[in-house]
Each structure stands twice: as structure tokens, then as C-alpha cells.
A = this chain, B = another copy of it.
Amino acid sequence: MTKPAPRPKTRIQRRNTGAILEAALEVFSAQGFRGATLDQIAEVAGLSKPNLLYYFASKEAIHLEVLTGLMDTWLAPLRALDAAGDPMEEILGYVRRKLEMSRDLPRESRLFANEILQGAPRMQPALAGDLKALVDEKAAVIRGWAEAGRIAPVDPHHLVFSIWALTQHYADFDVQVRAVLGEGHDPFAEAEPYLETLFRKLLAV
């Protein structure tokens, strides 16, 4: 057979591509794209390097697949923001879900952070495309709430940025947060009420 391995078809393919993507997430998120090596990923996945390259065309291809495969998960919390719900509870719920993702999926957060820090060389289109569309849509919802006087007037885009910044900070800069707090702290447990208060005050009419 020729080189391009078809997408998950057989049982073995599903298992191995899954193991590779999981291992790649582990390694890429910890070392960045350039810092990660195929040998590391192969070892974590429990496969040989040539076997990785039997399933994926290149290191680039693995990275891209991890990135795109995680986009849906990553944007789900924002998608769940419901125009029909109560404004304050919807936004606070979004904050809470994002903070939980930072706590439970820090590798995903760091993976995206690494990519964007380097100028998003492999994600530029997705940012200006799907992401912008989604944010614009939800920003319109938030603007509607503000204009109806149901929350305080705020710039909806920068509100979203501030939610991203404040929640992802606890995943991306985890070592710094823990170093500054010292022993005996649970950053996420402390951040939750802090952020709830912050956004309640910001949005109260």
C-alpha cells in the first residue's frame, strides 16, 4: 500500500492514532512544537518512531491534527453561551466552565498558548475564520443584553478577552502562580470565588 494512512478505519488504526495524538498532546504542550521530538512522542505512545510515521505523514501533520482535533472541545464553553438564558448567569457560567477547563485540561490550554505565542503559524486561518465568527456572534448577544439594560454596558470583545486571560492564566502560568502563592494553596479553588465576584461587579447594572 502507498503512504497516506486512511483515517481511523480498522480497530488497530483507531487505537494507535489515538495513542499517538494523546502522546503528542502530552509532549507538545510541555515542550512546544520545536522542543518536542518524535522519539519522545513515540516513547510516550509506546510505539516506534517509524510506526508514528506510518500513521502520520510528518511531525507537522501530528501537531496540526492535535490542534484541529481539540478546537471543538476548546470552544464548547463559549458555544454553550445561551442568548435565551439569564445574562449574568450565562456569563458567570462561561467563566466557571473556562476555569474548570484550565484546571482539568491544562495541557490543551498550554498547547494553544504555545501556538499563539509563536504567532500561530499553523492556526492563523482558524483564528480569523471560525474563532472570529463565533466570538462575533456571542459578542452580539452580549451587546444585546447590555443595550437592553440587563447587564452593565461593556465592550463585548474585551469582555471575552478578559475571561480568556483570567481563566487560562491559571493553566498557562501555573508554575508562577504556585511559586508566588507558596505551599498550601489551591489556586483554582481560590480563583473561582474571586472571579465570580469580579465579573458580578463588572456586569451589575
Contacts and interface: CB of A to CB of B under 8 A. Distances in A.
A190 B116 contact: no
Contacts of A47: none
A28 to B, nearest CB: 12
Main secondary structure of the interface of A (DSSP, over half): helix
A120 interface: yes
Number of copies: 2
A57 interface: no
Contacts of A120: 175-176, 179
A35 interface: yes
A120 B172 CA distance: 11
A113 interface: yes
Interface string A142-167: 00000000001011011011101110
A190 B35 contact: no
B202 A127 contact: no
Contacts of A194: 154-155, 158, 162
Nearest to A171: B117
A157 B131 contact: no
B165 A118 contact: no
A169 interface: yes
Contacts of A179: 120, 124, 127-128, 131-132
Contact of A135 (B32, B169, B180): B180
Nearest to A139: B180
